[in-house]
Amino acid sequence: MTAENIFEGRCSCSKLRYRMNAKPLVVHACHCRQCQRVTGTAFVMNAVVEKNQLEILSGSVANYHFPDTYHTAFFCPECVTYVWSEYKSGTFDDCWFVRVGTLDEPDRLPPDVHIFTESKQPWAPIPSGAPKFDRFYTIKELWSESSLARMEPYWQDK
Span 112-136, pLDDT tens digits: 999 999 999 999 999 999 999 999 9
Check: CB of residue 139 under 8 Å from CB of residue 147: no
Q: What are phi and psi of 91, to 5 degrees?
A: -65, -45
Check: CB of residue 139 under 8 Å from CB of residue 47: no
pLDDT score at 157:
65
Mode of pairing for the β-strands spanning 44-50 and 95-99: antiparallel
Segments of the chain with pLDDT less than 50: none
Helix (H) or strand (E) holding 9: strand 7-10
User: pTM for this structure?
Assistant: 0.94
pLDDT score at 146:
96
Query: What architecture (CATH level 2) is domain 3-156?
Result: Alpha-Beta Complex (3.90)
